[in-house]
């Protein structure tokens, strides 16, 4: 038995926020690496902030969705990512390949931010932003067809 329907008003604003963050990160990705990594540039700091906010959005959406399934009580961020795949909200392979590492990186951005280098962040914004697009597409599909997961949307 499902606990409660998915609340569209809890999901859509977060999806919009993720899209705004990713748009800003894509703009930063157009900068030359030397400019992005310059000591006096704000690009690196802005990228860390936007990436952390986008990751928080992904994990907040995930926690909301999982809470709508009986027994869906993740205890840590990597559990949210794993359960999204196990429960069919996203493809299991995508959860393993992208979401679980995203959850780990959220912790790195939050707790070990001083260890992150501009070159590392530059590489991420050039190689991993499409993972957010894949995630958002999967969530859009859930909102459009919740019945395939035995859920409802309000």
How many domains are there within the chain? 1
Domain of 110, CATH number, reads 1.20.120.580
Asked whether residue 142 is domain-assigned, the answer is yes
Asked whether residue 3 is domain-assigned, the answer is no
Asked whether residue 135 is domain-assigned, the answer is yes
Asked if pLDDT for residue 129 goes beyond 70, the answer is yes
4: which DSSP letter?
S
Beta bridge partners of 6: 153
- The domain in which residue 57 lies consists of 8-149
pTM of this prediction?
0.95
Tell me the per-residue pLDDT of 93-104, one tens digit each, with 9 for 90 and over. Answer: 999 999 999 999
Asked if pLDDT for residue 73 goes beyond 80, the answer is no
Number of CB atoms found within 10 A of residue 41's CB: 15
Asked whether residue 2 is domain-assigned, the answer is no
Asked whether residue 154 is domain-assigned, the answer is no
Asked whether residue 25 is domain-assigned, the answer is yes
Query: Measured between alpha carbons, how far apart are the two ends of the chain, in Å?
Result: 17
Asked whether residue 141 is domain-assigned, the answer is yes
Whole-number pLDDT of residue 1: 46
Rounded CA-CA distance 64/16 in Å is 16
Asked if pLDDT for residue 2 goes beyond 70, the answer is no
């Amino acid at each position: 038995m499902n606990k409660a329907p998915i609340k569209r008003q809890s999901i859509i604003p977060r999806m919009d926020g993720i899209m705004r963050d990713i748009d800003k990160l894509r703009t930063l990705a157009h900068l030359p690496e030397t400019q992005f990594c310059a000591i006096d540039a704000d690009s690196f700091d802005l990228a860390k902030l936007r990436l952390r906010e986008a990751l928080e959005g992904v994990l907040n959406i995930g926690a909301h969705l999982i809470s709508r399934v009986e027994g869906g009580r993740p205890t840590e961020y990597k559990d949210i990512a794993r359960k999204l795949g196990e429960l069919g909200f996203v493809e299991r392979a995508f959860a393993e390949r992208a979401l679980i590492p995203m959850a780990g990186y959220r912790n790195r951005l939050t707790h070990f931010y001083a260890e992150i280098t501009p070159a590392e962040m530059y590489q991420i914004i050039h190689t991993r932003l499409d993972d957010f697009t894949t995630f958002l597409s999967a969530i859009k599909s859930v909102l459009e067809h919740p019945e395939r997961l035995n859920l409802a949307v309000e």
